[in-house]
Amino acid sequence: MYYVSKQMEIAGSHRLELPYESKCRQLHGHNWIVTVHCKAKELNAEGMVVDFKHIKDKIHGYLDHGNFNELLPFNPTAENIARWICEQVEHCYRVDIEESRNNHVTYIKDEE
């Protein structure tokens, strides 16, 4: 099994839809540190699990410096963003997000 990971920093804003009072209901920004983990039993024709540039283009290229409420069709919590990222990248099985220094999220795709 081959394992690769790509880490990137994504700046963006969001506001959360919450049924209780919270500062997070206001538009605010973060510099998310996102790590995308991929795996494959065999390498592709180019000798890779997935090209790191394709991961960066698909995720960083789409989200960086954007308003996540406008870019994503769901309440943009770190948990939901992690799942969405995993669904966008071929061979992705795990996404780690550091939303701020003390707030971390991990999404691991169920094995089928």
Q: What is the pLDDT of residues 22-54, one digit of tens each?
A: 999 999 999 999 999 999 999 999 999 999 999
pTM, whole model, 2 decimals? 0.94
Q: In which band, very low, low, confident or very high, does the pLDDT at 112 lie, cut at 50, 70 and 90?
A: low
What are the residue ranges spanned by the domains of the chain?
A: 2-108
Residue 20 has pLDDT above 70, yes or no: yes
* H or E element in which residue 63 lies: helix 52-63
**Alpha-carbon distances of 3 from 9, 43, 74, 99, rounded to whole Å:** 21, 10, 29, 24
Asked if 88 contacts 34 with a C-beta cutoff of 8 angstroms, the reply is: no
Question: What architecture is the 2-108 domain classified under in CATH?
Answer: 2-Layer Sandwich (3.30)
Predicted pLDDT of residue 110: 87
CA–CA dist 42, 83 (Å, integer): 24
How many CB atoms lie under 10 A from the CB of residue 97?
22
Who has greater pLDDT, 112 or 51? 51
